[in-house]
């Protein structure tokens, strides 16, 4: 459920009509609904009632300080993959003691900073990283809390680019090798073993792969116990999908019930790293039709060129991701036809949607739905297009939580060679 609704024929974010936002902040811009994010967080948290758990929001889905601050206030922890994300969380008021650090290539300086602020756990993805972490921790006189990210080798049945739990991808360590690595880690003086971690993929709409993964990881935890290696938390990663079109992802309640019996009698805390499910449907990309370029005949393609492009929302171009596109103020005075919704970038792959049945005129506003996750965070400035503004609506108030970049911002730090 979200708080983007039509009122008097105009799409609103909570109490604010989207045309007002376009007027005040310009287009394109991302518009988030604070109440939707809060609701999604609470629903997820309540679904896990009775299970000792920590929710660590995956910052890569949406790293805006306004979004992170809201989640921090609700009690969320964070899953980060870089020192940049770490600093964002700290700036937003997040608690370092609720941060887990994932990623296959953590740099020395990133590890140092995470040790300095005292994060909850490093999700280590290789033997080389264990050694690096141990050496750095010893050098700075700290003990690094660690989990090993294991690859349970289950098929998440999602897009190949975002499936991560199979043996053949770069993430984690083969679950069959994990015991030996834990035994090594147990001997490293700079490390303190805390958990086991896995993440099998993103936009999952089936429950069985999650259950299979948890079962396999629990079996590993039992084998470790036989070696006196005690695990106090199981990080199950993120990955719960959302509805973009006609998907029927499980509810957070069903997601929790799917594994509740498996962990019921264990003295184990569960860590979750949801990203998309918390923020995906809490954001839209608001864009204006620049001009229409209809085909010569009805069978030709008809292009609606909008002011947002693949640099602003990459998912359609990169994954053929389908996002619903709706008119902010649907008009009755024009015939609907199938429009190619395209941006101004010089790439054929620059589209937001194909063949969308809409009644359009130049200057109309469109909302690209489900753009709250992996929208702004994947944006670039390709074609020297400044990154767009982000607006968070809270009740009746639209807050500009990130100002639109300027062309000067884009050129900052650049210079031409001096003449001789
Ligand atoms: N934890 C780890 C270790 C991850 O790698 C990810 C996402 C998450 C948690 C959060 O997953 P979520 O709950 O959001 O599914 N750019 C792609 C998605 C890439 C996901 C990468 N990892 C997209 O736009 O669909």
Is 257 known as a binding-site position? no
Please tell me if the CB atom of residue 102 comes closer than 6 angstroms to any atom of ligand 1: yes
In angstroms, what is the span from residue 322 Cα to ligand 1's centroid? Answer: 17
Does 4-31+280-411 match 35-277 in CATH topology?
Answer: no
In angstroms, what is the span from residue 169 Cα to ligand 1's centroid? Answer: 15
Please tell me if the CB atom of residue 274 comes closer than 6 angstroms to any atom of ligand 1: yes
Judge whether residue 164 has pLDDT over 80: no
In angstroms, what is the span from residue 346 Cα to ligand 1's centroid? Answer: 28
- For residues 291 and 343, give the distance between their C-alpha atoms in angstroms, rounded to a whole number: 11
- For residues 256 and 207, give the distance between their C-alpha atoms in angstroms, rounded to a whole number: 10
Please tell me if the CB atom of residue 311 comes closer than 6 angstroms to any atom of ligand 1: no
In angstroms, what is the span from residue 190 Cα to ligand 1's centroid? Answer: 29
C-alpha separations of 415 from 37, 142, 381, 412, 418 in Å = 41, 42, 18, 9, 9
Closest CA to ligand 1's atom 24: 374
Please state the atom number of ligand 1 nearest to the C-alpha of residue 280.
14
Domain segments of the chain as ranges: 4-31+280-411, 35-277
Please tell me if the CB atom of residue 149 comes closer than 6 angstroms to any atom of ligand 1: no
- For residues 56 and 71, give the distance between their C-alpha atoms in angstroms, rounded to a whole number: 10
Please give the structure tokens belonging to residue 56: 């660590």
Closest CA to ligand 1's atom 22: 202
Please give the structure tokens belonging to residue 109: 């300086």
Q: Which of 375, 407, 398, 401 is closest to 389 using CA atoms?
A: 401
Which of 121, 275, 368 is the pocket-test mutation for ligand 1 (most atoms within 8 Å of CB)? 275
pLDDT in tens, 72-126: 999 999 999 999 999 999 999 999 999 999 999 999 999 999 999 999 999 999 9
φ/ψ of 22, rounded to 5, equals: -60, -40
Let me know how many helices (H) and strands (E) the chain has, helices first: 12, 21
Output the pLDDT for position 420.
73
- State the pLDDT confidence band at 261, using cuts at 50, 70 and 90: very high
- For residues 60 and 69, give the distance between their C-alpha atoms in angstroms, rounded to a whole number: 15
Output the pLDDT for position 171.
87
- For residues 334 and 361, give the distance between their C-alpha atoms in angstroms, rounded to a whole number: 8
Which of 60, 71, 99, 209 is the pocket-test mutation for ligand 1 (most atoms within 8 Å of CB)? 60
Is 319 known as a binding-site position? yes
Please state the atom number of ligand 1 nearest to the C-alpha of residue 241.
15
35-277 — its CATH code? 3.20.20.10
Closest CA to ligand 1's atom 19: 162
Judge whether residue 406 has pLDDT over 90: yes
pLDDT in tens, 335-374: 999 999 999 999 999 999 999 999 999 999 999 999 999 9
Please tell me if the CB atom of residue 151 comes closer than 6 angstroms to any atom of ligand 1: no
Q: Strands (DSSP E) along 93-198, which ranges?
A: 99-101, 121-124, 144-151, 173-174, 191-197
53 DSSP assignment: E
In angstroms, what is the span from residue 164 Cα to ligand 1's centroid? Answer: 9
Do strands 302-306 and 365-368 pair parallel, antiparallel, or not at all (unpaired)? unpaired
Output the pLDDT for position 203.
96
In angstroms, what is the span from residue 357 Cα to ligand 1's centroid? Answer: 31
Average pLDDT, the chain: 96
- For residues 324 and 203, give the distance between their C-alpha atoms in angstroms, rounded to a whole number: 16
Output the pLDDT for position 298.
87
Active-site residue flag, 56: no
In angstroms, what is the span from residue 5 Cα to ligand 1's centroid? Answer: 27
75 DSSP assignment: T
Judge whether residue 161 has pLDDT over 80: no
Please give the structure tokens belonging to residue 365: 């506003």
Please tell me if the CB atom of residue 233 comes closer than 6 angstroms to any atom of ligand 1: no
What is the Rg, in whole angstroms, of the alpha carbon atoms belonging to the chain? 23
Output the pLDDT for position 88.
99
Output the pLDDT for position 170.
83
Percent of the chain, pLDDT > 70? 97
Contacts 24+ apart (CB under 8 A), 106-111: 106/132, 106/133, 107/83, 108/132, 108/136, 109/83, 110/82, 110/83, 110/86, 111/136, 111/144
Q: Which of 230, 201, 186, 252 is closest to 40 using CA atoms?
A: 252
- For residues 269 and 235, give the distance between their C-alpha atoms in angstroms, rounded to a whole number: 8
- For residues 207 and 211, give the distance between their C-alpha atoms in angstroms, rounded to a whole number: 7
Backbone angle region of 374, left / alpha / beta, with phi > 0 → left and psi within -120 to 50 → alpha = left
Specify the fold of 4-31+280-411.
Lyase, Ornithine Decarboxylase; Chain A, domain 1 (2.40.37)
Looking at per-residue pLDDT, the higher value among 414 and 153 belongs to 414
Is 276 known as a binding-site position? yes
Sign of CA dihedral 38, 63, 203, 371: positive
Which of 149, 163, 202 is the pocket-test mutation for ligand 1 (most atoms within 8 Å of CB)? 202
The answer, as to whether pTM is greater than 0.90, is yes
Please state the atom number of ligand 1 nearest to the C-alpha of residue 378.
16
Closest CA to ligand 1's atom 6: 238
Is 347 known as a binding-site position? yes
240 DSSP assignment: B
User: For residues 66-94, b (16+ Cβ closer than 10 Å) or e, as one string?
Assistant: bbbbbbbeeebbbbbbbbebbebbbebeb
- State the pLDDT confidence band at 228, using cuts at 50, 70 and 90: very high
Measured N-to-C along each axis, helices 83-91 and 108-117 cross at an angle, to the nearest 10 degrees, of 30
């Amino acid at each position: 459920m979200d708080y983007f609704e039509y009122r008097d024929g105009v799409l609103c974010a909570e109490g604010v009509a989207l045309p007002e936002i376009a007027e005040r902040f310009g287009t394109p811009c991302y518009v988030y609904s604070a109440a939707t994010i809060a609701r999604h967080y609470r629903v997820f948290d309540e679904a896990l009632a009775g299970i000792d758990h920590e929710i660590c929001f995956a910052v890569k889905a949406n790293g805006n300080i306004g979004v992170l601050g809201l989640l921090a206030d609700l009690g969320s922890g964070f899953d980060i993959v870089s020192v940049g994300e770490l600093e964002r969380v700290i700036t937003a008021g997040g608690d370092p003691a609720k941060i887990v650090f994932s990623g296959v290539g953590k740099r020395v300086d990133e590890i140092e900073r995470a040790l300095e602020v005292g994060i909850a756990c490093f999700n280590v993805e290789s033997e080389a990283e264990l050694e690096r972490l141990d050496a750095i921790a010893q050098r700075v006189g700290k003990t690094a809390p660690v989990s090993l990210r294991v690859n349970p080798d289950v098929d998440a049945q999602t897009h190949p680019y975002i499936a991560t739990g199979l043996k053949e991808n770069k993430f984690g360590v083969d679950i069959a090798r994990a015991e030996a690595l834990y035994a090594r880690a147990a001997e490293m003086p700079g490390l303190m073993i805390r958990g086991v971690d896995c993440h099998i993929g993103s936009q999952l709409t089936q429950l069985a792969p999650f259950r299979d993964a948890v079962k396999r990881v629990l079996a590993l935890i039992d084998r470790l116990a036989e070696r006196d290696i005690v695990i106090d938390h199981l990080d199950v990663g993120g990955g719960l999908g959302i509805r973009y079109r006609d998907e029927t992802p499980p509810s957070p309640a069903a997601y929790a019930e799917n594994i509740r019996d498996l962990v019921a009698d264990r003295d184990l805390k569960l860590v979750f790293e949801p990203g998309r499910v918390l923020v995906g449907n809490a954001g839209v990309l608001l864009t204006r039709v620049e001009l229409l370029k209809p085909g010569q005949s009805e069978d030709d393609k008809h292009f609606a060129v909008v002011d947002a492009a693949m640099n602003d929302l990459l998912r359609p171009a990169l994954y053929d991701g389908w996002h619903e596109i709706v008119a902010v103020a649907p008009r009755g005075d024009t015939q609907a036809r199938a429009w190619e919704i395209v941006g101004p970038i010089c790439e054929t792959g620059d589209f937001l949607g194909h063949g969308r049945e809409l009644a359009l005129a130049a200057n109309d506003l469109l909302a690209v739905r489900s753009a709250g996750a992996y929208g702004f965070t994947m944006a670039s400035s390709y074609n020297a297009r400044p990154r767009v503004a982000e607006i968070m609506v809270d009740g009746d108030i639209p807050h500009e939580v990130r100002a639109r970049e300027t062309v000067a911002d884009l050129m900052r730090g650049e210079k031409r060679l001096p003449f001789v």
